[in-house]
Amino acid sequence: MREIKFRGKRVDNSKWVYGYIIKWDGKSHIYEDTGDLLQKAVEVHQKTVGQFTGLKDSKNCDLYEGDIVLAREQNNISKKKHKQEVIFYYGGFRLAMLPNKIRLRNISAPLIENDVEKIGNIYSNPGLVKQ
């Protein structure tokens, strides 16, 4: 079964928090599953919320929407890797070529585990999008 979890940057200190998404009063909150029944959900910046893809990169790091990865282009024979963003589009997770996001490709476990390396995300490393 696929693990469904989210991440987002806390409003109070801008640190990442991981867990279950809850929305109330028009705001997004993430509840960390720490096993503590008294654990409170923390408010996060809505624009930073991203869902876990269920996949890990070549270094065993979880991949979320908004992550920036290095990967070869689809059907590219060369070993050269390009920056791509993990996005959710038409019901599935995709890789979008940066900086313009015009070329999309589906992502799958064999591709990710062997060919993709996470190098940051669009919220903590916005400069990676433009380079």
pLDDT in tens, 65-96: 999 999 876 665 667 788 999 999 988 899 88
Mean pLDDT of 1-13: 90
| Domain assignment of residue 1, yes or no | no
What pLDDT score was predicted for residue 7? Answer: 96
If one counts the domains in the chain, the total is 2
Mean pLDDT of 43-60: 93
Tokens of 41: 């959900």
Say whether both 99 and 39 belong to one domain. no
Neighbours of 67 (CB within 10 A): 25
Three-state secondary-structure class, residue 46 = helix
| Domain assignment of residue 100, yes or no | yes
∠ CA 104-15-52 to the nearest 5 degrees? 35
* C-alpha distances out from residue 113 to 78, 118, 120, Å: 18, 11, 17
Q: Which residues contact 22 (CB under 8 A, 6 or more apart)?
A: 28, 29, 30, 31, 41
Average pLDDT, rounded, for the chain: 86
Say whether both 61 and 121 belong to one domain. yes
C-alpha to C-alpha distance for 57 and 115, rounded to whole angstroms:
8
